[in-house]
Structure 1
Amino acid sequence: MAPPTGKTAVLKFSTDDLPARDRITIWREVFARSVVKVDLEPLGEGPFRSESLVRVLPDVMVRSSSASAAVVRRTKPLVADGDDNLILSIIRKGQMFATQGNREVYLDNGGAYLWSNASTGVSRNPTAMDLVTISLTRRSLSAVVADLDSAVMRLVPASSDALRLLVSYVDILQKQTAPMTPDLLAVSATHIQDLAALALGATRDATEAAKVGGLRAARLQALKADIIANIGNPELSLDAIAVRHNISPRYIRTLFNDEQTSFSDFIREQRLRRAYRMLSNPQLIDRNVSAIALECGFGDLSHFNHSFRRRFGATPSDVRTRAQQERAT
């Protein structure tokens, strides 16, 4: 287990680093009761396995994890700690049955529910699962969710647009490796709170605030991730992206304009960056420049050469030659 370090406040925990016979004991005593604040009983045969990446933000804690089949309990002794945070559990893969008070919820490869640390409860995952949990303070959610008590233990379907955007935003955040400044940590926490509120049923004021906060940020991140994932497709277009994300082309233009760029400029920049990386890669020396241009989504070699030189101050052949010289030394 690695403790939080620097401004990123990141904690990594894996039972793979522990002797099999000690995993449950250490998970309970070191990780479960101090971080996730539950007790655990493994299910099935074989050694228990759990892996988590925890990121601490102001009033928000995000945990991405995978774990073996288990029963997890928030017991009376644990409730006595006075923690009344609310936990939004999002199932990425697997099944979960959860009970708290007289309410039950079942999730299967998608969806989410809100759990209260102020009450006892039990959740059971009969098979291995991948999970994202977001711990939010009752104070912060009370201010933005219209009926918070009714939101507890209510299924948020996987089809929820706000939930999908929240998951996408968290995925990108959890991949962040560079240190984050306090201002960036605070902004990220606000965006997560905005999206969680929308998924749970935000107040009118919170909905309006989210449109210029977390919702906007998450949509822009989702658009950029989609573009980068499909950057080699020469048919990548504004209309196609708009249809895929169920938003208007005009709104997409607005999002990129607010970033002091445009949709087409962002695509060109990503294609040029990919081409530069490929031309600089010694393992791709045998691939000719035109093939690389096509693979990066450029249909016109002359346009590629002109754009590349203007962007990097060197021709593709110059970059390729430099890579060959470095390989030879």
Structure 2
Amino acid sequence: MTSTMGPSASFRLTTDMVPERDRVEITREVYGRTVLKVDLDPLAPAEVDMRVRALPGLGIATGSSSEFRVHRSTSLIDSDDLILLALLDGTSVMKHRGREEPVGNGRALMMSGEEVGLNLIGPGGIRFVNMSFSLKQLSPLIGDPASVLMRPLQTDAGAMRLLLDYVQSIHEVGDTLTPETWHLAATHIFDLTALALGATRDAAEIARGRGVRVARLRAIKADIIAHGGHVDLSAEDVATRHRLSSRYVRKLFESEGTSLSDFMLRQRLVRAHRMLGDISHAGRSITDIAYEAGFNDLSYFNRAFRRRYDATPSDVRAASVKSVGTATDEEGKL
């Protein structure tokens, strides 16, 4: 299990890092009791790999899980949060408020954290996006929270699809984001959730104005960053992955006074700069690093790098080597 404390608390739980005899208990304590306040009983060998992030009024968990019986008893209830259960792969059955509904196959469900419930994860396990929302913060955006509980929500289109894509994308790069960016991201997540559930008229107008366009652009940028801004990733590729037209993707970047190609170039240069400044890559040639960063033309790489950083790739590498040498000399004097 790894964790990070910063503008938001986050950790990753993976059973591969835990002795087999302890997997069920650690999963139960760390995720079941800390995150969702539920009990977990394995129905197959326990395998879990998830990332969890806690923000003010919002919790996010993404990952995969083997087959479990997940249940909330009265003794574990300690909040009135609303919990969204969405599956990317696999199926489960939710029993809550006297009803039984499937989750998966393009459907998600919202349940109340202040009531008992049961979720049976199906054979083969699941890949999921789960979120918990402060009732106090979400209810003004959607009107009557009770109206959305145990109501099947389609995940393959509209605001719900955008919400899930956005959450996954921003979660992948979360530890690199500033506190201000995370605050903005949380606002967008609440906006998109309200739109997916049926926002009040005023909330919908606000959400469309500040959330949808920005969330789409943020998800696209996070996707490009995750792929290193690789040269083979075209506007058509990006558009297809996010279920948009390539023309709309280009217009999103134009709205910020830039272009998709410029943004991708910056990401490739950032990657190259990072490797050149990393002493662990000191044995590699600059040509090799440029190629790995997505540049097929070394002359173009050198020109673009110098325009971006006002220094040559050789300058950056030399400065990195010199700083390591200086640090070593200083240590020798102690």
Q: How far is 1:277 from its partner?
A: 5.7
Q: How far is 1:61 from its partner?
A: 0.9
Instruction: Report whether the alignment pairs 1:213 with 2:205.
Output: no
Instruction: Report whether the alignment pairs 1:192 with 2:189.
Output: yes
- Which residue of 175, 178, 184 corresponds with 1:177? 175
Q: 1:279 to 1:27 in 2, by over 3 A?
A: closer
Q: How far is 1:197 from its partner?
A: 1.6
TM-score, with structure 2 as normaliser: 0.76
Deviates more, 1:188-197 or 1:264-273: 264-273
- Which residue of 81, 84, 87 corresponds with 1:85? 81
Instruction: Report whether the alignment pairs 1:292 with 2:283.
Output: no
How many residue pairs are counted as aligned between the two chains? Answer: 320
- Which residue of 47, 69, 72 corresponds with 2:70? 72
- Which residue of 109, 112, 125 corresponds with 1:116? 112
Partner of 1:5: 5
Partner of 1:42: 42
Q: Which ranges of structure 2 fall in alignment gaps of 5 or more residues? A: 324-334
SS of residue matched to 1:10 = strand
Residues 103-147 of structure 1: CA deviation (Å, up to 9, x unaligned): 332233654211111222211012322322110022222222255
The answer to whether the 8 A contact 1:58-1:185 is kept is: no
Tell me how large the CA RMSD over aligned residues is: 3.9
Partner of 1:309: 306
Q: 1:272 to 1:14 in 2, by over 3 A?
A: closer
The answer to whether the 8 A contact 1:93-1:110 is kept is: no
Q: 1:222 to 1:12 in 2, by over 3 A?
A: closer
User: Within 1, Cα distance between the matches of 2:2 and 2:284?
Assistant: 37
The answer to whether the 8 A contact 1:279-1:320 is kept is: yes
The answer to whether the 8 A contact 2:228-2:268 is kept is: no
Mapping 1:249-288, distance limit 5 Å: 251-253=248-250, 255-276=252-273, 281-282=281-282, 284-285=284-285
User: Within 2, Cα distance between the matches of 1:50 and 1:148?
Assistant: 31
Q: How far is 1:198 from its partner?
A: 2.1
Q: Which ranges of structure 1 fall in alignment gaps of 5 or more residues? A: none
Partner of 1:32: 32
SS of residue matched to 1:7 = coil
The answer to whether the 8 A contact 2:228-2:271 is kept is: no
SS of residue matched to 2:171 = helix
Q: How far is 1:241 from its partner?
A: 4.6
The structure, 1 or 2, with the larger RCO (C-alpha pairs under 8 Å, 6+ apart) is 1
User: Within 1, Cα distance between the matches of 2:322 and 2:3?
Assistant: 43
SS of residue matched to 2:303 = helix
Partner of 1:56: 54
User: Within 1, Cα distance between the matches of 2:316 and 2:181?
Assistant: 35
Q: 1:92 to 1:77 in 2, by over 3 A?
A: same
SS of residue matched to 1:213 = helix
